Structure 1
């Protein structure tokens, strides 16, 4: 990772954190309007689905097929989440699956931290949650792990213009806040704060929790050689990504929630099903009950 990339990643971690602390102070003093929370919610959902449906299930694992226009739209929405360029994100995540919880996994809380007692455990969790951003992110051979995207001109253009999309990610809620308050500067600033920085902060930490918590605490029911877990209380804020053990068992599945009640808490799968009904998604990968039983641990 170059020095510029490291500083950029550091800024992406620190600035939203500082903005979140400022937002807490403002909320404590009740200097927050309905439009601020609405912008936070709308931007969180759109960019979160850009990551989960777009970057993850569609591009990383090819869980379904869609048109070029829909693919590009989700790639842009995912970029607005400010978790790295689309090619970088996909490359890192594919390497995670190639070396899950072993040497070479860019964000495992276990690889390299075994036998370290409480200190080693905490270091592993910190690395998996945020530390890897400063040491591992973007360091993979993209031609090896994301060759299909590197060779896609449109996707490469979106990836190469990630820095401009970061600015768009901040400008959109600022402009919306300005418009919703009738042209008030305060509305633009609070829109930027809540719909921009605070939203980025919250979505960052929910996503990073999949790397850390969902490889450390939770439930398991399938026979797989890693430490992935399902964490039900993270399912909704992560748009279904916290059914992570299910996902590692069946990586290409468009549904991470496999049981009926899990599917109800898998918004990303519901969005994909909606796209399918509209004729905008096809060849959606789903796992039959028979295949699930074959992988189920014997109690």
Structure 2
């Protein structure tokens, strides 16, 4: 139903919309959308996705007023949005409407010492979370012979961990967060090679890239309720950020936080490996899994 309504309204000309908004003389004798009670309009908007609601709010006064109805936006917010608000913001003004709460949660919100970012997907309301490389436990990170933190505009955090060379490669992390009920996928965002700008063009230096084709990297995750997932993968594509899928986990309780531990290892010490950029770990609703794999 939402798709049909959206298709109908998107086909309206600006002349139609102007007539409905102003009540032109040619239409005064006939009922129009501008005559609909605001409450009825709000009921219709409840079937649409948030971007469609905001688009239709420009039609006329009735649609604009209906687009702010709390019950419309409460149906778009996660069931445990109040817990999310407390986790991310600490506290919000008590008179804040549900639409404004939704809008604030859709922004990229930083917490936990600027090492984590969380936001709602604007269309679906799904919770997405990203953990910076500085929020992970990386073996050898304090020794500049092995690792360096480098600035980059290609990261949400504007920094990434760059590995020059190491024998024992191990990255661990954990997060505890009140994810709403659903299935989630966890990824490492990685790139072989170090990118920079030269004369305004993106270039990738791959001189340190080696060792990843000999043995696969192992990824694992564990949850506080006993779930476990593991995968293996050779790293072989240079000059491009890729999302490496670790596994999925299910949240079946809206009222308590879920703790997730995860790791990425290649600890075969018969050879060194290097030239890897580690940006972040991301957790998305699993419905986006295939989309991320294409990037």
TM-score range, shorter chain: under 0.3
Structure with the largest fraction of helix: 1
Structure with the largest fraction of strand: 2
TM-score (norm 1): 0.21
**Greater CA radius of gyration, 1 or 2?**
2
More contact order relative to length (CA 8 Å, sep ≥ 6)? 1
TM-score (norm 2): 0.22
